[in-house]
C-alpha cells in the first residue's frame, strides 16, 4: 500500500516481457503482411530488360512515325460478346490483312492478361467471340499484311457492361 492507502501493483519483468512481445510482435506481423502483399501483387515491371528496351526506343519511334505517315485508320469494337477489327487506308478503302491478333492487358495486373486471334469474315472485317470483362484494358492489335508488313496499334479502353465506353 502507498501513503494514501491505495494498493499498487509492482511493475515486474513479466510486464516488461509482455510489452516487448506485443511491440515487436506487431512490427513483425505488419512486415509479414506487407511482404506477402508485395510478393502476390503486380511486380511493377513493364519490360524484362530496361537497358535493351531503351536501346530499341529510337527504332520504335521511327516505326511509329512511318506507320502514322501512311494515314491508315483502324477500328476496334467490343460489344455483345464479340471483338471486331477493321483496317482501312487513308482513302477509306479496306486493307486486306493475313491475320489479326488482339492482346488485352490490364494496366497494373498481369493475371488477367489474354490474347486472341481474330478470323476474317466475308466483308473483310476480323472478329472473334469473346466476353471482355469490365474495367480498364490496354489493347494491342497487330495486323499482319501479305507483304510481311505489320500494322500495330495500342489503345486504352474502358469496358462497361461488355461494351467499350
CATH number for the domain harbouring residue 106? 2.60.40.10
- Residue 2: predicted pLDDT: 67
46 assigned to some structural domain? no
Q: In angstroms, rounded to a whole number, what is the distance separating the alpha carbons of residues 36 and 13? A: 34
> Where is pLDDT greater, at 124 or 23?
23
Q: Do 151 and 85 fall within a single domain?
A: yes
Q: Is 66 among the domain residues?
A: no
What is the pLDDT at residue 1? 60
Residue 4 has pLDDT above 80, yes or no: no
Q: How far apart are CA 14 and CA 9, in angstroms?
A: 12
8 Å CB contact between 138 and 159: no
Quote the DSSP letter at residue 47: S
For the ranges 20-24, 37-41, 111-115, which has the lowest average pLDDT? 37-41
Asked if pLDDT for residue 161 goes beyond 80, the answer is yes
pTM: 0.70
> In the numeric block, which cell numbers belong to residue 136?
480498364
Q: Grid cell 495486373 — which residue?
A: 109
Average pLDDT, the chain: 90
Judgement on whether residues 77 and 156 belong to the same structural domain of the protein: yes
For 28-45, write each residue's pLDDT tens digit: 999 999 999 988 887 777
Segments forming the whole domain that contains residue 15? 1-41
The total domain count for the chain is 2
Residue positions counted in the chain: 165
Q: For residue 77, tell me if it sits in a domain.
A: yes
User: Do 142 and 77 share a structural domain?
Assistant: yes
Give the whole-angstrom CA distance, residue 120 versus residue 151.
16
CA distance 165 to 135: 10
Query: What residues pair up with 79 in beta bridges, in sequence order?
Result: 82
Does the residue 78 lie in any domain?
yes
Q: Which residue has the higher pLDDT, 45 or 14?
A: 14
The rounded radius of gyration (Å) of the Cα atoms in the chain is 29
What proportion of the chain, given as a percentage, has pLDDT over 90?
64
In a domain, 67, yes or no: no
Whether residue 47 lies inside any domain: the answer is no
Say yes or no: 159 and 79 in one domain. yes
Amino acid at each position: 500500500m502507498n501513503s494514501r492507502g491505495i494498493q499498487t501493483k509492482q511493475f515486474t519483468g513479466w510486464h516488461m516481457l509482455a510489452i516487448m512481445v506485443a511491440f515487436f510482435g506487431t512490427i513483425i506481423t505488419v512486415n509479414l503482411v506487407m511482404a506477402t502483399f508485395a510478393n502476390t501483387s503486380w511486380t511493377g515491371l513493364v519490360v524484362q530488360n530496361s537497358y535493351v528496351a531503351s536501346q530499341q526506343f529510337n527504332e520504335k519511334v521511327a516505326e511509329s512515325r512511318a506507320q502514322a505517315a501512311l494515314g491508315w485508320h483502324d477500328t476496334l469494337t467490343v460489344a455483345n460478346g464479340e471483338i471486331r477489327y477493321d483496317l482501312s487506308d487513308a482513302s477509306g478503302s479496306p486493307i486486306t490483312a493475313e491475320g489479326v491478333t488482339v492482346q488485352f492487358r490490364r494496366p497494373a495486373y498481369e493475371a488477367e492478361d489474354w490474347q486472341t486471334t481474330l478470323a476474317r469474315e466475308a466483308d473483310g472485317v476480323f472478329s472473334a467471340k469473346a466476353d471482355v470483362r469490365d474495367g480498364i484494358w490496354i489493347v494491342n492489335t497487330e495486323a499482319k499484311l501479305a507483304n510481311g508488313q505489320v500494322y500495330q496499334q495500342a489503345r486504352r479502353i474502358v469496358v462497361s457492361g461488355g461494351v467499350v465506353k
